[in-house]
Every structure is written in structure tokens, then in C-alpha cells.
Amino acid sequence: AETAGPWRRRSSGTWRGQEEMSIDPADELKRLRASIDNIDAAVVHMLAERFKATKAVGELKAANNLPPADKAREAEQIARLRKLANDAELDPDFAEKFLAFIVTEVIRHHEKLQGKG
């Protein structure tokens, strides 16, 4: 019932014995934005941790003369993320674009580190 406010045009009636709830759109907007802000904070912290891991991978590869790129690994990552996205009802194309966006930044970091060394 919490999400069945009057702005939900899809809800065509009320449940038996339940009155239509009137939710202030401004309150509802505030609630949704608070959730978005919480999610963004979680993602920023996840990404901070991810860049620590990719930095360690870069250092490990450099110290052991391993090639920076690994096409098989990348293909696996894409396939796995697309499947996860699909299961979570997220557009798999967006998940793939997102991974590409992150990987572009990882490459930028690695190039920066190599330039400094």
C-alpha cells in the first residue's frame, strides 16, 4: 500500500476494506531521492574499493611482466555482468556500457602510473 499513492495511475482501484491512501508527492519525491542518495553513496564506496583492486592488478602484472590486457577475461566479465543484469531486471546493454566506462577509467589510471614511473 505504501507505493500505491494516487500518482500511480496503474492502480485502478483499492483493495477490499482499504481506503485509497493519499501520499503527498513532495514527501514521496523526498523518500525516493533519499534512496537514490543512499545507493549512490554505496556505489561510490564500491568503486573506490574496485580501483584499489585494479591498481593492485596493474602492479602485479607490471612486476611479473604479464600483459596488461586479457581479452578472455574481459569477455568473461561482459558475459557474467550481462547475465547478472538480466536477472536483476537491469538492461544488459547498459551493464556492458557501464563496465566499458569503468574499464576506460582503469586504463587511464594505469597509463598515468606508467607515465609517472
Give residues in contact with a second copy (CB under 8 A). 3, 6-9, 25, 28-29, 32-33, 35-37, 39-51, 53-54, 56-57, 59-61, 63-64, 66, 73, 77, 80-81, 84-85, 88-90, 94-95, 97-99, 101, 105
CB of 14 or CB of 30, closer to a second copy: 30
φ, ψ of residue 16 to 5 degrees: the values are -55, 130
Q: Please give the grid coordinates belonging to residue 97.
A: 556500457
Smallest gap from Cβ 116 to a second copy, in A, equals 14
Smallest gap from Cβ 15 to a second copy, in A, equals 20
CA distance 11 to 29: 19
CB of 21 or CB of 39, closer to a second copy: 39
Q: Please give the grid coordinates belonging to residue 57.
A: 592488478
Smallest gap from Cβ 74 to a second copy, in A, equals 11
Estimate the share of the chain in helix, then strand, then coil, as percent rounded to the nearest 5.
Answer: 70, 0, 30
CB of 14 or CB of 70, closer to a second copy: 70
CB of 1 or CB of 56, closer to a second copy: 56
CA distance 39 to 45: 10
Q: Is 9 helix (H, G, I), strand (E, B) or coil?
A: coil
